[in-house]
Amino acid sequence: MKIQKKFEPLIAGFAASIIIGVLSFLSFETSTGFWLIFSFGSTTLIVLIFYESEFAQPYNIFFGHLLGIIIGIIFNEFFGISFITLGLSVGTTVTLMMYLKIIHPPAAANPLIALFADVSLNYIIFPVMTGSVVIIILSVLINKLLLKRAYPKKWY
């Protein structure tokens, strides 16, 4: 049975709480590492509200976040933080997302996270890759089982 439109915002909000709650639990209550970054909040909104869009598809989520954090780490390692590197790292991310067709708007913030937080290469695995996979798995389950939606439209 399809969810009534008037209840969709409540269920989507509850589902967003679940996704971020799971990532927070894994971050704070286990010894596995940190699973959460700021841009994941926006990713959660996109997979629950704009689930049919190209930038909400699993391939874009995973590789968009991966690309953004790698570019941020490269800029941080070679040039450090400045108004120039902050701008250029985001610009480079946007350009490459467009060329590679892996557009995921929240991931454009990842270079800023890498530069401001001075993260290491380990950050690519925890939290970016692992957190992205958790978001993808939970969003597929929530969209299919709870919200009764056809998500994802495509995997790659």
Q: What is the total residue count of the chain? A: 156
* SS3 (DSSP) at 35: coil
What is the per-residue pLDDT across 95-109, written as a single tens digit (0 to 9) for each?
999 999 999 999 999
Residue carrying structure tokens 């798995």:
137
Is the predicted pLDDT of residue 1 greater than 90, yes or no? no
Mean pLDDT, to the nearest integer, of 4-16? 93
Q: What is the DSSP letter of 146?
A: I
Q: Residues 122, 134: contact at Cβ < 8 Å?
A: no
Burial class (CB in 10 A: 0-12, 13-18, 19+), 34: middle
Alpha-carbon Rg for the chain, nearest whole angstrom, is: 16
What is the per-residue pLDDT across 102-153, written as a single tens digit (0 to 9) for each?
999 999 999 999 999 999 999 999 999 999 999 999 999 999 999 999 999 9
Give residue 139's pLDDT: 98
Q: What is the pTM of this model?
A: 0.95
pLDDT level of residue 87 (50, 70, 90 thresholds): very high
Q: Which amino acid, one-letter code, is at 26?
A: L
C-alpha–C-alpha distance, residues 36 and 54, integer Å = 23
